[in-house]
Homo-oligomer: A and B are copies of this chain.
Amino acid sequence: MRMMGIRILFIDPIGTTVFDKDMRNYLNEYKRKDTEIRTMSLPKGPKHLEYYSYCALVIPEVLRIVRKAEKENFDAVIIGCFYDPGLHEAREVTNMIVTAPCESSVLIASALGHKFSIIVGRKKWIPLMMRNVINYGLKDRLTSFKAIGLGVYDFHKDEEETKRRLINAAREAIAEGAEVLILGCTIFFGFYKELQKIVGVPVIDPVIASLKYAELLVEVKKISGWSHSKVYEYEPPPESEIKAWKLEL
Write the residues of chain A forming the contact surface with B, with a CB cutoff of 8 angstroms: 1, 15, 29-32, 44-47, 50-57, 59-60, 63, 86, 88-90, 92-93, 99, 103-104, 107-108, 110-115, 123-124, 126-128, 131, 134-141, 174, 177, 179-180, 192-193, 196, 200-205, 208-209, 212-213, 216-217, 219-220, 223-237, 241, 245-249
Contact = CB atoms under 8 A, between A and B. Distances in A.
23 contacts: A15-B245, A30-B224, A45-B245, A47-B241, A53-B90, A54-B237, A56-B63, A57-B63, A99-B111, A107-B111, A108-B226, A113-B232, A115-B127, A124-B235, A127-B233, A136-B141, A137-B138, A137-B141, A179-B231, A179-B234, A201-B231, A205-B224, A213-B216
Contacts of A232: 113-115, 123-124, 126-127, 177, 179
A141 B246 CA distance: 35
B247 A229 contact: no
A113 B228 contact: yes
A229 B201 contact: yes
Nearest to A99: B111
A59 to B, nearest CB: 5
B247 A57 contact: yes
Stoichiometry, as copies per complex, reads 6
Given A113-B229, A113-B232, A124-B232, A57 B212 contact: no
Contacts of A53: 63, 89-90, 92-93, 237, 249
The 6 closest A-B pairs by CB, nearest first: A113-B229, A51-B237, A179-B229, A137-B141, A114-B233, A53-B89
B202 A227 contact: yes
Given A92-B52, A136-B110, A202 B229 contact: yes
A201 B204 CA distance: 31
Contacts of A113: 228-229, 231-234
